Amino acid sequence: MQEFGNVDEFVGQLMAGGGKHPGQLLQYLYALQYRYSCIPPHAIELLATQLQLPAARIHGVIEFYSFLHTTPRGAYDILFSDSITDHMLGSRELLAEFCRLLGVQPGEPRGDGRVSVDVTSCTGICDQGPALLVNGWAVARLDADRIEAIAALIEAGTAVADWPREFFDIQDNILRRDLLLNDTGGAGAALQALRERGADAVLEALDASGLRGRGGAGFKTATKWRFCCEANAQQRYVVCNADEGEPGTFKDRVLLNSYADRVFEGMTLCAGLIGASEGFLYLRGEYRYLQAPLDAVLERRRQDGLLGSSILGEDGFDFDITIHMGAGAYICGEESALIESLEGKRGVPRKRPPFPVTNGYRNLPTVVNNVETFMAAARIAVDGADWFRAVGTGESTGTKVLSISGDCSRPGIYEYPFGVSIAQILEDCGGTDAQAVQVAGAAGSTVPASEFGRSIAFEDCATAGSLMVFGPQRDLLDMVQNFAHFFVHESCGFCTPCRVGGALLKDLVDKVCAGRAGDYDLQEMQAIGDLMRNTSHCGLGTTAANPVLETLHKFPEIYKQRLAGGDYGPAFDLDAALEEARAITGRDDAGAHLKVES
């Protein structure tokens, strides 16, 4: 029986800090997880009593988030990033070697409780992978030497805080700058502009700029802010979606690392325009290392009168921002699931309508925007609509910050005017021999070389920023399989087509990969994918089958070459399935085997 020291005291401290609010549940659980490497049973009892929540509901929250556990992980809990780009950089081989060095099986803590090793969805370090998380802290650029060094540190019992600093060095890797990333302006400029020009003029500029949400959906930002402003309520909220979970996306990590002032400025601008006094930055758990620096930026802004009460000395302009940590759930990037998570619940997307602009956080009007959107809004307030509109296309004004990874010689962050062609991007990043690029991540689209003339824009290839390059040596089916498994892992489980359909689809992809599928299975994949796309509750479910549907259509040969032949065959080896019966009966003669027809 594991002993957990001072649980009462620790929970008491959490309650004192968080004001005993049930909405803080996820934050409490996050703190407990990293203190005890699990949520101790006694802590659940205490939380249930103190927060007046059913214990079963707390269990439900714990089991929803990948980073929370009811049984202890190892003292060193290692999670290898399992993105397809990490695979391409050799992560699986490194994981196997790491487990061998430590004598541990993936998924199970070692007998002595020292270490546990598992995989996690994309950690957003794809341009300098393979990557892992150790107790939530990101380590980049893994190779055989680094793996060996980490194993030695673990065996020696060296505290993670004392590991070599360079292990935790995560680079920005900005390789192309445009409107946003060229920014050298000082903090507070957008708020000054708001004071000088007035709310109407700034909102007008935002409208005229044509700025659309950078999270992928592309809703017009000024319209969203106006709707929220016009909703009848005493209180409104501003939420920045920094749950950057789409595989292959890492630009928000860089924006928050080096442009946090601009992002918070955009949020504060929004608060000033819509009349909000409270805001949240929902930061994905994988970016734990950004939490303290971001808190420091917030504190500095409070000191400088750019946050808190009477911002810029203006009576009644009160606004503050709190960072909320996610805990391993891709679905929380969906804005209504994010709001549920902010409220300390399971991240299950809400019914729409109503939309968050009228019924968001605590059922009050809420603006949820992407990191990059807030940053762009802050710049538009200063530099105006024309400055922004001068680049991009008619429907997609301004620039897009892309996260480029995969088979290219210069992976990293590239900011381009909207309308840039994929061919141009590949030339710049050194990926011209690509057979395909995956635009917009696992939920996005697979673009074959014949379509590299297409452009990054809402009206063509829309993306929140993920662009993964696949060279000629790759089997795209590996990508499809990786994404199919990803979506099964990340489905919230609320609706039938995504929960069950996604799992069925994954099994069929595995069957193709195992060389056991027939034509009938491909038709089934198409039918299940169509059903998921047509009938799912939220955007995750409607897009989860995209990788399968897109590649079935555009790359049929990757499937055909793996087919077993014939119309239908079982997903397993019939003769191998008889092994147990042979062992029990002690027979291994020809009659105890199925005849293999050639």
Partner 1 sequence: MSGEQTFLLDGKEIPFRDGDTIMDAALRAKAYIPHLCHNPEFAPHGSCRVCVVDIDGSNVSACTQPAAPGLNVDNSSTAITDERRALLQMLFVEGNHICPGCEKSGACQLQAVAYYTNMLAPHFTHFFPRRALDASHPEIAIDFNRCILCELCVRASHDVDGKDVFAISGRGIGSRLVINSPSGKLGDSTFSATDKAAHVCPVGAILPKNKGYEQPIGKRLYDQQPISVVGDVAAHEQEGDSHGE
The residues that touch partner 1, with contacts defined as CB under 8 A, are 54-57, 59-60, 63-64, 329, 346, 351, 353, 488-497, 499-504, 507, 527-528, 531, 534-537, 571
- Do 355 and 330 contact (CB within 8 A), yes or no? no
* Two tokens, residue 456: 């990054």
Nearest approach in angstroms of CB 380 to partner 1 is: 33
Starting at the edge strand found earlier in the chain, the sheet holding 466-470 runs 174-176, 412-417, 399-406, 466-470, 436-439, 445-448
Pairwise CA distance, residues 522 & 505, whole Å: 10
Cβ proximity to partner 1: between 392 and 497 the closer is 497
Nearest approach in angstroms of CB 265 to partner 1 is: 36
Cβ proximity to partner 1: between 400 and 537 the closer is 537
Pairwise CA distance, residues 37 & 42, whole Å: 14
Pairwise CA distance, residues 412 & 594, whole Å: 53
Nearest approach in angstroms of CB 62 to partner 1 is: 8
Cβ proximity to partner 1: between 40 and 501 the closer is 501
Nearest approach in angstroms of CB 54 to partner 1 is: 4
Cβ proximity to partner 1: between 245 and 417 the closer is 245
* Two tokens, residue 182: 């060229």
Q: Find the length of the chain.
A: 598
* Two tokens, residue 309: 């009460």
Cβ proximity to partner 1: between 158 and 358 the closer is 358
Cβ proximity to partner 1: between 453 and 570 the closer is 570
Cβ proximity to partner 1: between 41 and 106 the closer is 41
Neighbour count for residue 560 (Cβ, 10 Å)? 11
**DSSP-derived 3-state class of residue 405:** strand
Q: What is the DSSP string of 105-155?
A: -TTS--TTSSEEEEEES--S-GGG-S-EEETTEEE-S--HHHHHHHHHHHH
544 torsion bin: left (phi>0), alpha (psi -120 to 50), beta (else): alpha
Pairwise CA distance, residues 175 & 254, whole Å: 12
* Two tokens, residue 548: 């399968």
Pairwise CA distance, residues 41 & 558, whole Å: 48
Cβ proximity to partner 1: between 171 and 496 the closer is 496
Cβ proximity to partner 1: between 390 and 577 the closer is 577
Cβ proximity to partner 1: between 173 and 535 the closer is 535
Nearest approach in angstroms of CB 552 to partner 1 is: 18
Pairwise CA distance, residues 583 & 593, whole Å: 12
Cβ proximity to partner 1: between 5 and 54 the closer is 54
Nearest approach in angstroms of CB 61 to partner 1 is: 9
Starting at the edge strand found earlier in the chain, the sheet holding 278-283 runs 320-325, 278-283, 237-242, 366-370
By DSSP bridging, strand 466-470 and strand 366-370 are unpaired
Nearest approach in angstroms of CB 60 to partner 1 is: 4
Nearest approach in angstroms of CB 488 to partner 1 is: 6
**DSSP-derived 3-state class of residue 573:** coil
Neighbour count for residue 197 (Cβ, 10 Å)? 15
Nearest approach in angstroms of CB 230 to partner 1 is: 19
Nearest approach in angstroms of CB 500 to partner 1 is: 4
Nearest approach in angstroms of CB 482 to partner 1 is: 16
Residue at 492: amino acid letter: C
Cβ proximity to partner 1: between 306 and 327 the closer is 327
- Do 117 and 123 contact (CB within 8 A), yes or no? no
Pairwise CA distance, residues 545 & 498, whole Å: 9
* Two tokens, residue 375: 């940053």
Neighbour count for residue 416 (Cβ, 10 Å)? 20
Place of tokens 């700058």: 177
Nearest approach in angstroms of CB 494 to partner 1 is: 5
Cβ proximity to partner 1: between 262 and 345 the closer is 345
Nearest approach in angstroms of CB 216 to partner 1 is: 19
Q: What is the largest CA-CA distance in the chain?
A: 91
Closest CA to 464 of 532, 371, 388: 371
